[in-house]
Structure 1
């Protein structure tokens, strides 16, 4: 197509339609009337030789061609907005702000203490994963960032990968069953032991199953989950003082083993490893303080060796 004939306003209309799936709502978002949006859509259809959207009830459903344009168009508009933003000198030392983060106690224990002093006027509040839906909390500005496993989020939520989180098995160093069987720290727990011994599980919603149970189910086996707790630290304490095994993120297992009498073992089967991500509202993409704190978290994750 001839890019010289493409009006930039058409790109804005396409982005709004992809976000809102409605001619009326798209027009409200970018300050155009419904007829003006419809006319722009017709021009886009002609320029791209594709229907782009088809009506289904009150919504406009994007075609595969339109869906393929969503992210490139959004990224291009962000770059244009960034290019025309007035230059500002951002000084973290002068920033006075409280950032609210959400995630598992895994992060409040291992990450937050190390970034708490990044700037004199910056404070942090950390909320538990169980408080609610990430998209809704970001939309309502109740949180600035969420540090979570892969989630289904709204299309206006931005994210970046933080690190992989492989699982390790923890048990008390004096776990009677493992000691009697002669299974040493660092060794693989035999599959029959793994399924027979009681397990503790970190569960924010009370569920008695997780990634480990999914892995066992694929080979027709099951384990005995007899204790579900809402926090990793609670799981580690239960393991240290009881007969339980637990599958926890390797980084947490290593940290917990420094202060608790627990040993780290290898799982007898591959367990799916969730890639932890950082989520935020896309309207904060280019906000200097927000971009700065995201960079601090990414740098600290790298320094702590989580990416390994």
Structure 2
């Protein structure tokens, strides 16, 4: 009968190879079980599978213990070579050292995140990883594909519909505010629902906020007096700071712009659905040390902390990432 060698079977799991080596070395089922940290019944089951796969008894009980058969003696060399190769493969994983790393990370984000999140990320990276470069690209419909292919390392924002195979981690919740000129003639410390309907507005046609705001206006049958629409946040502070127009936007970007440009922040009187800013990545890179480092930086900087303090510091806080879960496609 022709025996199959180690290369002809697909079922020799590493644990069976380790059992083979342990039995050959100790000559005892009891000692092999102790060495592998398994029960004797488990070792007996594994040995049965090993014998079936290699089509040989392999070890015969005797007064001197479990004696190897000629086939076992012929296979122990290749088996130990295979175990050594597995050990070397396990050692090939290299940790990511930010202080010496030379690489580029691509992060998908909204233009609002360029103002709110990117400065903190960049300040931290420049301090602890001077050889690392950051490329910011627009978050959008192509983002899941870019994360899967590796064209992008991470996405920051809110993605309502994500393909299977991605992970997501909640960072911080978002509600809504209104921005007004600090010297607005009619709006002081608060804006009422009546004021909101009566005043002229500037709308931003980008990011998560645009669609959520539009949905809220439609559901509540509110028609705003829109004097200006902008494709992004670039010119918004100058517009609000020099006119009587009102801007409605997520709190994080609103409070950041107000801080830098001296605008007035008001609680929004309109009921608008909130959302959670998250970081997203693909399962292909879930265990990649460089990707883990980048995600850890974002979690330390932003996760569940008071977003009103984010624009003041680029230093990462030491905190354990939470709410790590696969997304539902």
Shorter-chain TM band: 0.5 to 0.7
Contact 2:171 2:304 in 1 (8 A): no
* Structure 1 unpaired stretches of 5+: 1-6, 10-83
Please state how far the C-alpha of 1:203 moved relative to its aligned partner: 1.5
Corresponding position: 1:127 with 2:162? no
Q: In the alignment, which of 101, 106, 121 is matched to residue 100 of structure 1?
A: 106
Q: Which residue of 2 aligns with 1:264?
A: 265
Q: 2:307 is paired with a residue of what secondary structure?
A: coil
Q: What is the CA deviation profile of residues 42-81 of structure 1, one whole-angstrom value per residue up to 9, with x for unaligned ones?
A: xxxxxxxxxxxxxxxxxxxxxxxxxxxxxxxxxxxxxxxx
Q: In structure 2, what is the Cα distance between the partners aligned to 1:307 and 1:174?
A: 22
Confirm or deny that 1:279 pairs with 2:280: yes
Q: Does 1:143 align with 2:157?
A: no
Contact persistence 2:216–2:272 (CA under 8 A):
yes
Structure with larger Rg: 2
2:77 alignment counterpart: none
Cα distance between partner residues in 2 of 1:138 and 1:278 = 11
Alignment partner of 2:99: what SS? helix
Partner of 1:160: 169
Deviating more after overlay: 221-230 vs 93-102: 221-230
CA contact (8 A) 1:163 1:307 kept: no
Deviant stretches of 4+, over 6 Å: none
Distance in 1 between the 2:253 and 2:209 partners?
20
Q: Residues 218-297 of structure 1 correspond to what in structure 2 (within 5 A)?
A: 218-297=219-298
CA 1:128–1:204: 2 relative to 1, 3 Å: same
User: Are 1:209 and 1:225, in contact at CA under 8 Å, matched by a contact in 2?
Assistant: no
CA contact (8 A) 1:104 1:231 kept: no
CA separation of 1:208/1:138 partners in 2, compared to 1, >3 Å: closer, same or farther? closer
Structure 1 counterpart of 2:206: 204
Partner of 2:75: none
Alignment of 1:62-81 (within 5 A): none
Q: Does 1:90 align with 2:100?
A: no
C-alpha contact 2:113 2:253 (8 A) present in aligned 1: no
TM-score (norm 1): 0.63
Alpha-carbon spacing, 1:255–1:293, altered in 2? closer, same or farther (3 Å)? same
Report if aligned partners of 1:208, 1:225 keep a CA contact under 8 Å in 2.
no
Q: Distance in 2 between matches of 1:234 and 1:157?
A: 34
Q: CA RMSD in A?
A: 2.9
Match of residue 118 from structure 2: 112
User: Structure 2 CA distance, aligned partners of 1:236 and 1:266?
Assistant: 18
Structure 2 gaps, min length 5:
1-10, 14-88, 310-329
Please give the alpha-carbon distance, in whole angstroms, between the structure 2 residues aligned to 1:304 and 1:217. 32
Q: Tell me how far apart the structure 2 counterparts of residues 197 and 165 of structure 1 sit (CA, whole Å).
A: 24
Distance (Å, rounded) in 1 between the aligned partners of 2:212 and 2:304:
27
How much has 1:287 moved relative to structure 2? 0.1
Tell me the TM-score normalized by structure 2: 0.59
